[in-house]
Amino acid sequence: MMMMMMMMMMMMMMMMMMMMMMMMMMMMMMVRRRRRKRRRTTTMKKKNEMKNKKKKKKMIMRRRTMTRATMKKKNEKKKKKNMMMMMMMMMMMMMMMMMMDDDDDDDDDDDDDDDDDDDDDDDDNDDNDDDDG
């Protein structure tokens, strides 16, 4: 009975930890999104003005720099996505580890039950021998 209670407590603790982790992830995501939106709205106007000035001065050079700038932006986005994927993978690994640990504990309990069943079978066999006698 005590073992069962301990198992239940462990499971509850695991669930709580998981929920906390998920909440943290969600909060982080929300904060990042908000920040990005703010940056775009506030600074994009200034950036556009600067770009227009540069366009008038050097069109050819502008094109070359633009391609490089866009490439850099794309690379940054990819890096961010990769980081998020890595975080998700880590979370999944943690979850799997926790689940595996729980399964191992369950297997141990099952083994104990199997042993009990074997004992019962032995008793039945003894009874049958007595009947034959």
Q: What is the reported pTM?
A: 0.26
Please name which of 30, 26, 37, 33 lies closest in space to residue 88, comparing C-alpha atoms. Answer: 26
DSSP states of 22-89 as a string? Answer: HHHHHHHHHHHHHHHHHHHHHHHHHHHHHHHHHHHH-HHHHHHHHHHHHHHHHHHHHHHHHHHHHHHH
Mean pLDDT of the chain: 67
Which among 38-47, 58-67, 109-118, 122-131 has the top mean pLDDT?
A: 38-47
Residue 20, CA atoms < 13 Å, CB-side half-sphere? 6
The pLDDT tens digits for 37-94 are 555 555 667 777 777 777 777 665 555 555 666 777 777 888 888 887 787 777 777 7
**pLDDT at 85 (0 to 100):** 79
Q: What residues contact 10, with CB distance under 8 A and at least 6 apart?
A: 102, 105
**pLDDT at 132 (0 to 100):** 56
Ramachandran area for residue 58 (φ above 0: left; ψ -120 to 50: alpha; else beta): beta
Each domain of the chain, given as residue ranges in start order, spans 45-95
**pLDDT at 131 (0 to 100):** 57
**pLDDT at 4 (0 to 100):** 72
The answer to whether residues 33 and 124 touch, using CB atoms and an 8 Å cutoff, is no
* 116 or 49, which is more confident: 49
**pLDDT at 125 (0 to 100):** 57
Encoded amino acid at 42, one letter: T
**pLDDT at 118 (0 to 100):** 54
